[in-house]
Structure 1
Amino acid sequence: MRSMLVVDNLRDPAFKASGKLPSRGAAGHTPQYLLEEYGYQVTLLDRDEQTAKYIDGADAVILHVPLNEVKTWGTKLLKRKRVPIMWWCSSTTASLSAAFCEDDAPVDGILTPSMSAQELHWALQFGSKQCMERQQWYNERKQLESRLEERKWIDMAKGILCKIKNISEAEAYEFLRKQAMNERKRMVDVATSIVKVYQILQDQK
């Protein structure tokens, strides 16, 4: 993990205009300065228009923004690529974020200007692990939501079949299962078709 994409919209306007990194004396331990000093390759951006251009080459994203902006940036970045997102907690971001400490911010870890190279390295490693766990949780949640959605369509179709065919739920389920096998479709697809056709017929009455 060597290539860092740093989102920093808190830089001094003079440095923004010049495009140069400030010296340690001039601006303290800014994320871009410290990361480069520790041997990381840094790409700096402060506008979301640049995201698509640089996100693919990044191993991690460092957000030097107030906490209330983290979710917006995180959402934009994660649409492009799933990478560890770290929040740079400087004195500036901390003071600007006091009112937002309860917000749900999609970050995998926190970095601070006082970290040594080794501390920063391990924070990034743990952040990468947290990112993978978050992705696994996200995938499991999507699968669960998908199964619940399928169950909803199947239950609706069973209810319709019970009503129009005057059969039990078990018989309706068996009907759906056999129909799916005959048509070489998933049960949920057969169930969805039945529900939609029934709804169309009901609307036409």
Structure 2
Amino acid sequence: MRSLLVIHHEAAATETKESKPGSVLTSIGFQVTLADGEERAARGIAEADAAVLHLPVSRIKAWSEFLHQWKRMPLIWWCSAFSASASLDACEDDVVIDGILTPHMESHEIHWALQFAARAFFQREQWLEERKQLLARVEERKWIDQAKAILCEIKGINEAEAYDMLRKQAMNERKRMVDVATSIVKVYEILQESKPKGTKRK
């Protein structure tokens, strides 16, 4: 991790040079791009390995959503006198960050904190991807179960036979089973909606 995008609040300009992330991080060898608004951040995000947010905690959520539209990367909060004092009312906010840096850290402490932040970020990304895949499988299971129930009712067959029918149709049409199941459910729902009232499946 060598290139950092530093997002700073306009009010942070009152802090001393020794407290500003741009100055501190540059002095220990990092390439730093400063941004005080979305336009500059969007221009500098491509080369950044992580974003350092010198902001009140209440501003972090909106900024993280903006940054992740462009690129997913570790988010680190720069906890200075300014950003900490401006965050007292936001201690309970639902904010996700991967690490914290302070102006008083030694260079080796900053390097290690960034390494741990990167690891935390990648672990979180992996968890989010696994969760996404799990939810997708649950959703697919719902469509397949609905399609099986419809086939059981219409064809007068059991669940195992209905599953076999779905599988064979998917193979014949060279489609995923969930796509075949979704088509069956949607067509069935359209047919049910077109029937006179009182004749729909209960």
Same fold (TM over 0.5): yes
Partner residue in 1 for 2:63? 73
Any conservation in 1 of the 2:143–2:182 contact (CA below 8 Å)? yes
Aligned equivalents of 2:155, 2:82: Cα separation in 1:
68
Aligned equivalents of 2:99, 2:10: Cα separation in 1:
19
Q: RMSD between aligned alpha carbons?
A: 1.6
Moved over 6 A (4+): none
> Which of residues 114, 118, 126 is equivalent to 1:136?
126
Query: What's the CA shift string for 1:65-111, capped at 9, x where partnerless?
Result: 11121111111112211211100111221122222222222211000
Aligned equivalents of 1:169, 1:49: Cα separation in 2:
56
Any conservation in 2 of the 1:10–1:64 contact (CA below 8 Å)? no
Partner residue in 1 for 2:8? 8
How far off its partner does 1:163 sit?
Answer: 1.6
Any conservation in 2 of the 1:90–1:112 contact (CA below 8 Å)? yes
Any conservation in 1 of the 2:98–2:120 contact (CA below 8 Å)? yes
How far off its partner does 1:32 sit?
Answer: 0.9
Partner residue in 1 for 2:198? none
How far off its partner does 1:27 sit?
Answer: 4.5
Give the percent of matched residue pairs that are identical in Structure 1 and Structure 2.
56
Unpaired stretches in structure 2, ≥5 consecutive residues: 196-202
2:23 is the counterpart of 1:43: no
Any conservation in 2 of the 1:154–1:191 contact (CA below 8 Å)? yes
Aligned equivalents of 1:160, 1:115: Cα separation in 2:
64
Query: What's the CA shift string for 1:12-52, capped at 9, x where partnerless?
Result: 5xx5xxxxxx8x8x454111111111121111111112333
Aligned equivalents of 2:40, 2:57: Cα separation in 1:
21
Any conservation in 1 of the 2:4–2:33 contact (CA below 8 Å)? yes
Any conservation in 1 of the 2:7–2:41 contact (CA below 8 Å)? no
Residue pairs, 1:51-130, within 5 angstroms: 51-130=41-120
Q: After alignment, is 27-36 or 83-92 more displaced?
A: 27-36
- Counterpart of 1:187, as a letter, is M
Aligned equivalents of 2:10, 2:123: Cα separation in 1:
30
TM-score (norm 2): 0.90
1:131 is paired with a residue of what secondary structure?
helix
Unpaired stretches in structure 1, ≥5 consecutive residues: 16-21
Q: How many residues align?
A: 195
Aligned equivalents of 1:189, 1:35: Cα separation in 2:
51
Aligned equivalents of 1:149, 1:85: Cα separation in 2:
31
